[in-house]
């Protein structure tokens, strides 16, 4: 079990480090970001007690490919991937809002709908919808970005009224979100997949809105297999999906949704390896290429430190 769950680097020009739920982000001279995709895994806004081997590499490489595949739509932060688990890019002032876009009624949106809600983040939902049904057009359901605890649903109107994002910047983010989702949907369809929902994060640099963080990964997105979707939907059966949802479902089955009094179930080595295998399967379906496990997996921190330091020295 070799998984990278913590980093503590000190790169040349480093000003600070932020340890997120999954990524460790190093600020270099207030100009660049070194984003390390660790093998930590989170669900229900809590970090699970054991890392998942190769998960960081999977996420980093998927995100890098999709950042490159959408750079004609929106400028993004990525400059280079000097290590399989690292992206180096431009530092931007991140907006305190996540843009979640949904093409289908599923997940938390379905749970709210099933409980009687017909409005989500200020968006009116049609009556009579079923689980996993496609929306007439994709809907944007933003959340506030919390450092700790749960992100909170919020409407476009509330975001602008509270001054979280200016009207002009929000409408630019909205436009980019629809365009990115359309591109992601097209790419997924070529792989026999349906991009169900996803989230995007944006920031501002030199007065321009740019795309930051990961995109279209199984941690930030939900995919269904296109084959069998209609039959399963008509029969009211669960969809076969590619996302982190299988980890959430496993936790729910073990009576954990990060609610008061609940205890995190044990993550055995066997279960961690099975999750790793699923992430690799996700990679191969989403990207359409065989996953190559990176070398020097026995000493990930040393490998990353060398690769990043060598890259920074070239700048």
Domains observed in the chain: 94-243 (3.30.470.20)
CA distance 268 to 249: 16
**Prediction pTM value:** 0.91
CA distance 306 to 12: 12
| Exposure string for 57-81, b = 16+ CB within 10 A, e = fewer | bbbbbbbbbbbeebeeebbbbbebb
Give, for all 315 residues of the chain, the pLDDT tens digit: 689 999 999 999 999 999 998 999 999 999 999 999 999 999 988 999 999 999 999 999 999 999 999 999 999 999 999 999 999 999 999 999 999 999 999 988 999 999 999 999 999 999 999 999 999 999 999 999 866 556 789 999 999 999 999 999 999 999 999 999 999 999 999 999 999 999 999 999 999 999 999 999 988 999 999 999 999 999 999 998 887 888 988 999 999 999 999 999 999 999 999 999 999 998 999 999 999 999 888 899 999 999 999 999 999
- Could you list the beta-strand ranges (E) of the chain: 14-19, 23-28, 32-37, 42-43, 46-47, 78-83, 86-90, 93-94, 97-104, 119-120, 123-124, 134-140, 143-144, 193-205, 208-212, 221-225, 241-243
CA distances from 240 to 128, 196, 227, 233, 253 (A): 23, 12, 9, 11, 18
Place of tokens 């709210």: 112
Residue in 293, 315, 288, 246 with CA at minimum distance from that of residue 43: 246
């Amino acid at each position: 079990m070799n998984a990278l769950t913590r980093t503590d680097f000190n790169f040349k020009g480093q000003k600070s480090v932020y340890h997120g739920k999954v990524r460790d982000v190093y600020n270099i001279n207030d100009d660049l970001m070194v984003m390390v995709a660790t093998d930590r895994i989170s669900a229900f806004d809590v970090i699970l007690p054991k890392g998942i081997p190769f998960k960081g590499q999977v996420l980093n490489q998927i995100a890098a490919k999709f950042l490159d595949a959408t750079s004609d739509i929106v400028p993004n932060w990525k400059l280079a991937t000097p290590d399989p688990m690292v992206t180096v890019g431009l530092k931007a002032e991140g907006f305190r809002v996540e843009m979640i876009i949904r093409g289908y009624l599923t997940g938390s949106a379905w749970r709210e709908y099933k409980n009687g809600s017909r409005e989500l983040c200020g968006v009116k939902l049609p009556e009579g919808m079923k689980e996993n049904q496609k929306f007439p057009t994709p809907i944007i359901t933003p959340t506030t970005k919390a450092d700790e605890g749960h992100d909170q649903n919020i409407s476009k109107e509330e975001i602008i009224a509270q001054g979280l994002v200016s009207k002009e910047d929000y409408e630019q983010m909205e436009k980019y979100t629809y365009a990115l989702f359309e591109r992601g949907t097209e790419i997924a369809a070529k792989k026999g997949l349906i991009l169900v929902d996803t989230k995007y994060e944006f920031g501002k640099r030199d007065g321009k809105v740019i795309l930051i963080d990961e995109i279209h990964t199984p941690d930030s997105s939900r995919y269904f297999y296109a084959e069998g979707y209609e039959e399963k939907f008509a029969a009211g059966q669960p969809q076969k999906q590619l996302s982190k949802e299988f980890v959430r479902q496993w936790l729910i089955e073990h009576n954990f949704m990060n609610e008061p009094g609940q205890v995190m179930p044990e993550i055995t080595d066997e279960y961690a390896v099975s999750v790793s295998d699923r992430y690799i399967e996700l990679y191969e379906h989403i990207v359409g290429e065989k996953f190559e496990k990176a070398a020097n997996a026995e000493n990930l921190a040393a490998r990353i430190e060398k690769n990043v330091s060598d890259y920074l020295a070239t700048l």
